[in-house]
A and B are shown apart, each in its own frame.
Chain A
């Protein structure tokens, strides 16, 4: 039998295999096939004659070595003759140094009680770590308040700009559109009762109490919560956080506190913008397509919505800001080693902060109803 890599010749109790051509990486697949055909034809001894080799590299040598191993498992002796290239010696050296391992089978899944126990333990570990982190951040905030440093104040102002001022356009547009949507939806229903003018009440109350602050907070969670987590995560990966600690700086104070304070200033201001834009959206529909005059609209807003409604909405903003900033920065600081982890933590930061905003909002709604505000 002859092909481009091998020629075989039967002798008494011996199979002569002429090895030739290019035994290199690119041809491994073909070499595997060619050498596989030798095995069923082998007698007691196989001799690989390698004089005819044009070129051989480690991958090619590996195929040859692998076959000789297989043959010896079948109780067939194999010989190699005429080797000139250093590769095989090299390969042999490696094989001698350490045996190629069999690929390990995956560890079996732990039994159920063990999974449960591990889950509980993980939960406990995670919560205690979180509580510790939160405590440290709280202490840093208090320390920072007592002895504010210039760097911290500067950084806080920068964060107000980044998370607040830069977010104004998108928050204004979003709440304006939501104001329009709310007015349209309400108009359809209220017109049936001839109470079109109540659209104004509905828009202004829902925007000031709920929608304005909620939309602003969700936008900020998406914009800044992710930015916090990503920025701090990269700093952790670059060992910047470690460098700060080595220099005697408290990363909590330098990185986390300004972000929390900055956002707690920025979000209430954004809420005011959101409220105004939302009501403006409602006004556009009321005046433009429902025949309510501008003056009537303003009168109706003043009559239905008092400052309490506005304060109720506004009072939630710092709490939401605290949640977004804490979750974002904490997740960022949890990044330990890899870029993949960074992405994961950033996603978690956004999802968790939005989740917590909505939970907190539900609690607020219940609280204010109970209090009769």
Chain B
């Protein structure tokens, strides 16, 4: 590309969200670039999920403007559903459908391809997320938490989305499963030209796979590469990355990110 400026996929401008007297976002602005993995962190109640829900049109902001792939997002209006996939925190699989049907549903909604191709594509997505096809006929309630997340990811990927939203994808997974999940996300990102917005508290994921980090503090956001964020003087950010877990994770990915 001749143009050096990165292409902006999602743009949030002056977003304000409040619940009663409590202001969650105070004129928050954030740009998400094409092909990056953006990690979103913040303390409880800083509105990480609210930000994601606003972008998805599931939350009515008090004011502000959000555009995704050039399309303005409006509350409860159909957004670019064809172009994004969402992994909700609990998986949010439809409990009345089998795993296979859950993954097939978006394909059936957005294409007229024959049943067999639909089946095969859904199976492919399940395999892509590291599931065995023996789970295909099971119901979500029969799966473990980690498997449910994988199925949910398979569903999110069913339509070959350009953007993937992940809400705490590794929460509730054991470290091995969490690492595998991180590897899977990186793998998908490298192979599918995905732009990923990921809410996470997992410092391993933050350091390991995110290109940039957005920290929600004081109703606003501080965005930067890992090094830039580590240089920040904000007390919350300092303490967040100062805890032993974060230090270890930092050491594990090559030590002197920040000499």
Task: Point out residues on A near B: beta carbons under 8 Å.
Answer: 24-26, 28-29, 32, 57-59, 62-63, 66, 86-87, 90-91, 94, 97-98, 100-101, 103-104, 336-340
A59 to B82, alpha carbons, bound, how many Å? 14
Q: Which of A58, A97, A340 contacts B160 (CB 8 A)?
A: A58
A residues near B124, Cβ cutoff 8 Å: 58, 62, 91, 94, 100
Contact A339:B96 (CB < 8 A) given known A28-B111, A57-B160? yes
Residues A98 and B132 in contact, CB atoms below 8 Å apart = yes
Q: List 20 A-B contacts (CB under 8 A).
A: A25-B160, A28-B117, A32-B113, A32-B117, A57-B192, A58-B124, A58-B125, A58-B128, A58-B160, A58-B192, A87-B191, A90-B192, A94-B124, A94-B127, A101-B133, A103-B119, A337-B139, A338-B139, A339-B95, A340-B96
Give the shortest distance, in Å, between A67 (CB) and chain B (any CB). Answer: 12
Flag B129-147 by CB within 8 Å of A: 1 or 0 each: 0001100110111100000
Residues A338 and B191 in contact, CB atoms below 8 Å apart = no
A270 to B178, alpha carbons, bound, how many Å? 57
Interface centre among B113, B119, B121, by most chain A C-beta atoms within 10 angstroms, is: B113
Residues B95 and A337 in contact, CB atoms below 8 Å apart = yes
B residues near A98, Cβ cutoff 8 Å: 127, 132-133
Tier of interface size on chain B? 20 to 34
A187 to B257, alpha carbons, bound, how many Å? 95
B residues near A24, Cβ cutoff 8 Å: 160
In the complex, B256 has a CB within 8 A of chain A: no
In the complex, B17 has a CB within 8 A of chain A: no
Give the shortest distance, in Å, between B243 (CB) and chain A (any CB). Answer: 29
In the complex, B170 has a CB within 8 A of chain A: no
A residues near B128, Cβ cutoff 8 Å: 58, 94
Residues B191 and A59 in contact, CB atoms below 8 Å apart = no
Residues A66 and B160 in contact, CB atoms below 8 Å apart = no
B residues near A25, Cβ cutoff 8 Å: 111, 159-160
A338 to B140, alpha carbons, bound, how many Å? 9
In the complex, B120 has a CB within 8 A of chain A: yes
A127 to B191, alpha carbons, bound, how many Å? 55
B residues near A62, Cβ cutoff 8 Å: 117, 120-121, 124
A21 to B229, alpha carbons, bound, how many Å? 43
